[in-house]
């Protein structure tokens, strides 16, 4: 049986169909390979340059290709099986065709022979050919049989081919599922690996806002990126969530980013703006500030984000803002020596000292921007990246530029056209570009809160690097012409210096005084510390002396109580004390002028050159919160004194450094005259209103001060604020441990030096606390002496002027056996309130007040200081204690007796019983009578009769006479005899009462006159007038209960003082014990 042409063609078509099917799947495999290769190469088109981080991803892609090749090899084996079946079929077809040809040939021969024999020799050969015919017919029958068998084989082959087709289809489906599953798994794994690699670069630059990873953001994610995410490329052929970040050039690429839109899609561009602002803030936490320009929308474009980031102040004048940006750009470039080859981002953090990147976002450009503003913006965009300033412009194409201007003026740009976003996708990976949008309010709130609570990175200027000296180089500087110290760094190598005096190398240019304006939190206190210690290690106490005055709420200078250079330290200073310091300096100015006149010179420099060995240190007065000088100064005395020192202080070596939150303060008169001599002007962070009101700096300086946005940043100008002399930098950090260690080292050095003890004496005043007994320098002078001072030594010490470390008492004569007792610290520079009694009439003292801690604290300090005047055998104490038993102060007099007087071998009797009191008074009366008869009463020991609350003994209280009026009791009359006649014989009475009424029960009004020295605590106006003949004691606590204040008056010469009394405390008891131990070792 013969196959028809149609059947052959069908069979061939099937073979071609299956063959093409294999070619189709070969093509699919190659397409998958191509897609993987394209994904591997995607980073090139997306500006991802760090190829090392993608090595693992590339390896995964190669593995996928190898597995696809294995699938292809399996497919080739299947193709070989099908080819073998096809070849068998073709062999059968060709075999059937050959047999059919033989049959046709035989039939033709038979016909030919038949005709030949029929025509030529029909008879001769007819028999033979019949037989041949029969044979051929038999063969033909065999052929038909063979054809039938062959046809059966063909049908069997067709059945086998159908089975192969079915098997092949099943294998193809299996291969398709295998390839699809493998591709999906590998692509998902590839997506995970991609994210793992991308997160190593920066969380904020590679994740959508809805990703959970944002909850893990910390400030440690800080990284300067050369790309910035503006959206993502999404793989869109499948339902896979595979995407890659879409990046634009950022830091270091010097590009201006332009978002082009029309009015219809401008909101999408503005949403991307907010996303970029957030991403940058989180990429550079605390390292970036912003400038927002939106003159068309009046700032509305940025209103939802501006409150959450650091924004340059904008008063609505776009040109002024751009002008400030340009000047800041020029400042940064000049300060750090920047260029395109050495841009901002290439400079080490420790050099940039907290300079920040700045991002300028421009909305709806160019609407409402004039030609000047556009040209200035162009300059900033083109040059700003050198100084770390990058510009982002929303170009609204619906608005026209001024004539002859266009976006072409921006030199290096990267534009994103929101009018045709489809142009950014496509490619072999068939990626779709989706621009970023602003984060939702919930995630924004969380991230802003985390950003605010994060700790800014510290870029410190270290003391050790900029200010410190080797110890061998300490105190080598001379203060003849000036004093100077670095306090920080400016730019990459210059130092920030503060100096006072004159510089002969610059034609004698002066810098008389300085002033600092800085708001709270700006680093003002740290600047003080660096200045003080920077000078202290360069100049010895013989070259420089310091007066350190804190405001009434300050304790910044407490650490310097033992600093060798500190002559006076006042903490929490009341205004009246601060003013007294100015008075002291004014007096010192006059003393120095007189000294110079005596030596034929006219100023400090010439005196020091003429007398180089004469010890006369320069004086630096440092006052924090100097505006308090003028509080309550109705007569303007502080302003007058300040002006006199400002104008004449430099010539005598006195310099002031005044600090406050602003330069001009309320209450200061003669501002022009004073500021005219303030050459050194320093500004740190200031409020906008204070900065705008500045007249102490020029235009350039005011703009630079605006960059003092972090603690430690400062602008220093040593030429009265003139432009061109501004130096911007950062003050070195000085930690408390560093400060304390350095002070200890300076104390050790001072002890090793040959500097006079007088120069190393520090007067300390704390305006809110009671004074410490051992802070009294005069008392310390007596304590530290190796032996008891002789009468002549004591006289010399007493007569020496206060500013030279003496008592300033020219009326001290050793023949009168004067003794001093200290009560507390006066509200002035050197004063310590004291009672000096000598062998004269009325040299007795009364102390009245209901504050028992102060009253008995003064009694203990008085007894302690009386002991220090003379050798122990020269003192005798009788102490009558009638205080309430169990009261906290009841133990005070027992303590002083047992812990100080008795251990030193001083004759002392402490009595409280009435019978004993009577005996003691009679004993003292007898001693008085003996001394009256003595030819040399001055040789007798001093007797101190101290009585506490004598009114609680009825024997002392006045009694009514027969006329009904009050008069002294019998014992009271003996007491009166003692305080009336005793002082001239060396018997002194010191009595203490709770109130004036209590005193009057023992001492009548007429007898008060025998008490020259009177001490009052707070009391009523009437009591004050009765006791003091003035009302001052009624106004002691006007500023509050702390500190406790006292008033002392010497009735004879009307000399009075306000002071802070020594008060009972554990510290006072401890100090008295220490004094006793020191004296025992003599």
> Tokens 């014989």 appear where?
985
Annotated binding-site residue? 505:
no
Annotated binding-site residue? 912:
no
| Cβ atoms within 10 Å, residue 682 | 25
Annotated binding-site residue? 174:
no
* Secondary structure (3-state) at 285: coil
Contact (CB, 8 A) for 978 and 813: no
Closest Cα to residue 412, out of 229, 228, 252? 252
The first and second tokens of residue 969, run together, are 């009791």
Contact (CB, 8 A) for 388 and 355: yes
* Secondary structure (3-state) at 293: strand
**Conformation bin of residue 396: beta by default, left when phi > 0, alpha when psi is -120 to 50:** beta
Q: Hey, which residues does 834 pair with through a beta bridge?
A: 822
| Cβ atoms within 10 Å, residue 107 | 12
Contact (CB, 8 A) for 418 and 435: yes
Annotated binding-site residue? 266:
no
Distance between CA 171 and CA 731 in Å, rounded? 78
| Cβ atoms within 10 Å, residue 19 | 14
Distance of CA 1007 to the CA centre of its chain: 65
Closest Cα to residue 675, out of 717, 628, 708? 717
Annotated binding-site residue? 438:
no
Annotated binding-site residue? 55:
no
| Cβ atoms within 10 Å, residue 153 | 15
> Tokens 């014992």 appear where?
971
DSSP characters over 571-601: ES--HHHHHHHHHHHHHHHHHHHHHHHHTT-
User: How far does the chain reach from its first CA to its final CA, in angstroms?
Assistant: 148
DSSP code at position 313: -
Annotated binding-site residue? 518:
yes
Closest Cα to residue 844, out of 1055, 1051, 1064? 1051
DSSP helix, strand, coil percent of the chain (3-state; round to 5): 50, 20, 30
Positive or negative torsion for Cα 780, 786, 791, 795: negative
Distance between CA 795 and CA 788 in Å, rounded? 13
Distance between CA 303 and CA 294 in Å, rounded? 10
Q: Is the peptide bond before 531 cis (omega within 30 degrees of 0)?
A: no
C-alpha distances in Å from residue 638, one per residue of 191, 634, 750, 763? 75, 9, 35, 22
- Sheet with 482-490, side-by-side order of all strands: 509-511, 494-503, 482-490, 726-731, 713-717, 678-683, 513-517, 654-660, 618-624, 544-549, 566-571, 763-766
Q: Hey, which residues does 229 pair with through a beta bridge?
A: 247
The kind and range of the H/E element at 437 are none
Closest Cα to residue 359, out of 392, 397, 399, 324? 392
The first and second tokens of residue 983, run together, are 């002082």
> Which residues have CB under 8 Å from 845's CB, separation 6+?
821, 835, 837, 988, 989, 990, 991, 1011, 1012, 1013, 1014, 1015
Distance between CA 829 and CA 802 in Å, rounded? 10
Longest dimension (CA), the chain: 213
Annotated binding-site residue? 289:
no
Known binding-site residues equal: 518-525
Known binding-site residues for ATP equal: 518-525
């Amino acid at each position: 049986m013969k196959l028809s042409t149609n059947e052959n063609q069908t069979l061939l078509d099937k073979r071609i169909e299956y063959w093409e099917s294999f070619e189709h799947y070969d093509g699919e495999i190659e397409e998958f390979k191509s897609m993987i290769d394209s994904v591997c190469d995607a980073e090139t088109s997306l500006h991802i340059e760090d190829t090392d981080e993608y090595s693992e991803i590339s390896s995964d892609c190669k593995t996928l290709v190898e597995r696809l090749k294995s699938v292809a090899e399996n497919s080739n084996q299947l193709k070989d099986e099908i080819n073998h079946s096809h070849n068998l079929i073709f062999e059968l077809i060709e075999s059937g065709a050959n047999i059919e040809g033989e049959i046709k040939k035989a039939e033709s021969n038979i016909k030919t022979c038949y005709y030949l024999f029929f025509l030529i020799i029909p008879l001769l050969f007819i028999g033979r050919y019949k037989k041949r015919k029969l044979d051929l017919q038999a063969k033909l029958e065999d052929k038909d049989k063979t054809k039938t068998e062959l046809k059966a084989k063909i049908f069997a082959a067709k059945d086998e081919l159908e089975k192969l087709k079915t098997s092949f289809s099943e294998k193809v489906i299996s291969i398709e599922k295998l390839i699809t599953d493998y591709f999906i798994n590998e692509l998902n794994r590839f997506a995970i690996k991609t994210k793992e690699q991308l997160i190593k670069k920066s969380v904020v630059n590679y994740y959508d806002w809805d990703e959970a990873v944002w909850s893990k953001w910390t400030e440690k994610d800080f990284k300067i990126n050369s790309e910035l995410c503006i959206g993502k490329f999404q793989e869109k052929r499948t339902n896979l969530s595979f995407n890659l970040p879409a990046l634009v050039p950022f830091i270091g690429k010097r590009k201006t980013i332009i978002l082009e839109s029309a009015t219809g899609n401008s909101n999408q561009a503005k949403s991307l703006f907010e996303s970029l602002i957030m991403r940058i803030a989180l990429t550079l936490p605390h390292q970036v500030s912003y400038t927002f320009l939106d003159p068309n929308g009046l700032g509305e474009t940025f209103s939802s984000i501006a409150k959450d980031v650091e924004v340059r102040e904008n008063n609505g004048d776009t040109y002024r803002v751009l002008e400030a940006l340009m000047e800041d750009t020029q400042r940064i470039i000049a300060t750090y020596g920047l260029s395109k080859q050495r841009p901002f981002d290439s400079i080490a953090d420790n050099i940039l000292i907290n300079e920040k990147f700045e991002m300028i976002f421009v909305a709806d450009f160019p609407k409402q921007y004039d030609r000047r503003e556009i040209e200035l913006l162009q300059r900033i965009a083109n040059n700003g990246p050198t100084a770390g300033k990058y510009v982002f412009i929303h170009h609204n194409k619906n608005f026209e530029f001024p004539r002859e201007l266009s976006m072409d003026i921006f030199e290096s740009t990267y534009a994103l056209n929101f009018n045709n976003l489809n142009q950014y996708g496509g490619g072999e990976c068939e990626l779709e570009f989706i621009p970023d949008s602003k984060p939702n309010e919930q995630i924004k709130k969380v991230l802003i809160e985390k950003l605010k609570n994060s700790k800014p990175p510290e870029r410190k200027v270290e003391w050790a690097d900029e200010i410190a000296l080797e110890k061998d180089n300490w105190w080598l500087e001379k203060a003849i012409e000036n004093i100077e110290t670095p306090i920080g760094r400016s730019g990459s190598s210059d130092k920030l210096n503060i100096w006072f005096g004159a510089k002969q190398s610059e034609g004698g240019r002066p810098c008389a005084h300085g002033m600092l304006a800085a708001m709270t939190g700006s680093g003002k206190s740290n600047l003080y510390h660096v200045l003080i210690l920077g000078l202290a290690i360069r100049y010895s106490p013989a070259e420089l002396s310091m007066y350190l005055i804190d405001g009434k709420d300050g304790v910044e200078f407490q650490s310097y109580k033992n600093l060798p250079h500190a002559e006076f330290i006042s903490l929490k200073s009341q205004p009246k004390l601060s003013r007294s310091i100015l008075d002291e300096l004014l007096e010192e100015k006059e003393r120095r002028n007189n000294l110079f006149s005596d030596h034929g010179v006219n100023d400090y420099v010439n005196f020091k050159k003429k007398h180089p060995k004469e010890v006369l240190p320069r004086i630096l007065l440092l006052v924090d919160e100097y505006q308090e000088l003028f509080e309550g100064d109705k007569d303007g005395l502080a302003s007058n004194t300040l002006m006199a020192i400002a104008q004449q202080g430099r010539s005598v070596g006195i310099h002031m450094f005044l600090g406050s939150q602003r330069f001009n303060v309320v209450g200061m008169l003669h501002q022009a005259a004073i500021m005219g001599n303030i050459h050194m002007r320093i500004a740190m962070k200031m409020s906008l209103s204070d900065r705008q009101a500045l007249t102490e700096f020029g235009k350039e300086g005011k703009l630079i001060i605006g960059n003092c946005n972090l603690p430690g940043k400062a602008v220093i100008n040593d030429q009265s604020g003139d432009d061109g002399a501004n130096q911007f930098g950062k003050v070195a950090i000085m930690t408390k441990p560093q400060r304390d260690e350095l002070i200890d080292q300076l104390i050790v050095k001072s002890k090793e030096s040959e500097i006079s003890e007088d120069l190393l004496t520090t007067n300390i005043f704390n305006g809110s606390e009671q004074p410490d007994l051992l802070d009294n320098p005069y008392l310390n002078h007596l304590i530290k002496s190796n032996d008891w001072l002789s009468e002549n030594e004591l006289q010399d010490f007493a007569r020496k002027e206060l500013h030279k470390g003496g008592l300033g008492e020219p009326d001290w004569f050793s023949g009168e056996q004067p003794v001093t007792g200290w009560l507390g610290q006066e509200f002035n520079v050197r004063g310590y309130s004291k009672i000096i009694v000598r062998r004269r009439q009325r040299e007795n003292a009364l102390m009245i007040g209901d504050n028992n801690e102060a009253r008995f604290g003064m009694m203990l300090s008085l007894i302690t200081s009386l002991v220090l005047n003379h050798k122990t055998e020269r003192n005798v104490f009788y102490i009558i204690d009638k205080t309430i038993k169990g009261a906290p102060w009841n133990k005070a007099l027992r303590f002083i007796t047992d812990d100080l007087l008795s251990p030193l071998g001083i004759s002392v009797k402490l009595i409280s019983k009435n019978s004993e009191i009577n005996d003691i008074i009679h004993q003292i009366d007898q001693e008085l009578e003996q001394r009256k008869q003595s030819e040399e009463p001055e040789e007798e020991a001093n007797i101190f009769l101290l009585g506490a609350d004598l009114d609680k003994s009825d024997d002392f209280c006045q009694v009514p006479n027969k006329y009904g009026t009050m008069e002294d009791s019998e014992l009271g009359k003996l007491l009166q005899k003692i305080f009336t006649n005793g002082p001239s014989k060396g018997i002194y009475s010191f009595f203490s009462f709770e109130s004036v009424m209590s005193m009057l029960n023992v001492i009548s009004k007429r007898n008060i006159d025998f008490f020259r020295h009177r001490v009052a605590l707070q009391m009523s106006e009437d009591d004050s007038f009765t006791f003091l003949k003035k009302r001052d004691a009624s106004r002691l606590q006007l500023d509050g209960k702390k500190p406790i204040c006292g008033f002392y008056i010497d009735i004879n010469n009307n000399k009075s003082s306000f002071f802070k009394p020594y008060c009972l405390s554990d510290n006072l008891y401890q100090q008295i014990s220490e004094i006793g131990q020191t004296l025992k070792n003599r």
